[in-house]
């Protein structure tokens, strides 16, 4: 039951981190000469990062 609440708690963090990613990308992009991204693209980048980092975090957490 505890895992269910952890997943529900991660949902707002996902949307907030997508918003922060979009904002930071807009600040850094002009320096590198790349175009800005919209919120949907920031969500796709964010979910890709979460899916690649989550197994690493879970493996590290189980080790302790």
What span, in angstroms and rounded, lies between the C-alpha atoms of 22 and 15? 11
Record the pTM. Answer: 0.74
Q: What is the mean pLDDT of residues 49-59?
A: 85
Distances (CA, A) of 13 to 42, 45, 47, 50, 62: 13, 14, 11, 11, 22
Q: Give residue-wise pLDDT tens across range 11-47.
A: 898 999 999 999 999 999 999 999 999 999 999 999 9
DSSP-based three-state secondary structure for 51: helix
**Cβ atoms within 10 Å, residue 46:** 20
Q: How confident is the model at residue 5 (pLDDT cuts 50, 70, 90)?
A: confident
């Amino acid at each position: 039951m505890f895992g269910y609440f952890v997943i529900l708690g991660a949902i707002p963090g996902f949307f907030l981190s997508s918003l922060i990613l979009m904002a930071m990308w807009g600040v850094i992009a002009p320096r590198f000469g790349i175009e800005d991204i919209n919120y949907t693209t920031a969500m796709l980048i964010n979910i890709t990062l979460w899916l690649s980092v989550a197994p690493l975090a879970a493996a590290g957490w189980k080790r302790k």
